[in-house]
Amino acid sequence: MSLDQTMFIPVLAESLQTTSSPTPLQFFGILLGLLGLFFFVGTAVGMIRFPDFYTRMHAAGKGDTLSTMLMLSGFGLVSMEDLSMGSWLLFFKIMGVVLFIFITCPTSSHALMRAAFEDDEMPMTEKDLKKPSAKKK
C-alpha cells in the first residue's frame, strides 16, 4: 500500500494495528448493531417510497426509534472490553441514552402527527388514488 489510509487519523492507526478477536459480549453487540441497521434500511426505504405523510410517519417513527435503541445498546455492549467499574458505568450511561430516546422519540412523533392533523392534512384515501389529477400529498 503506497498511500497509508489511516495516516490522517493517528488515533485510528494505533487502534487498527491491534487485531483482537471479539469476546462473546462484543459479538452479541455486533449482532444487535446489524439488526438495528436492518431496521434503519426499512426506515430509509419507507421515507422514499410511501405516498402519504401519515404512512411516512409510520415508517419513520417506529423504525427510527427501534433502530436507534438497538444500535446504541449494541455499541454499549461493544465498548465493554472488560467487566471493570468504568465499563459498567459507561454501559449504564449508554443505557440512559437509550431510555431517553425510548421516551422522547415517540413523543416528538406524536406531537408532529397532532400538528399535521390539526393543520388539516388529511390521510390519503381511495378517492385520491382514483383521481390522477389530484395533488400528491
**25 binding another protein? (CB under 8 A):** no
**32 binding another protein? (CB under 8 A):** no
Q: How far is the CB of 2 from another protein (least distance, A)?
A: 21
Q: How far is the CB of 89 from another protein (least distance, A)?
A: 8
**71 binding another protein? (CB under 8 A):** yes
Rg (CA), the chain: 21
Residues at the interface with another protein (CB under 8 A) = 11-12, 15-16, 19-22, 26, 30, 33, 37, 40-41, 43-45, 47-48, 53, 56-57, 60, 64-65, 68, 71-72, 75, 78-79, 86, 89-90, 93-94, 96-97, 100-101, 104-105, 107-109, 111-112, 114-116, 118-119, 121, 136-137
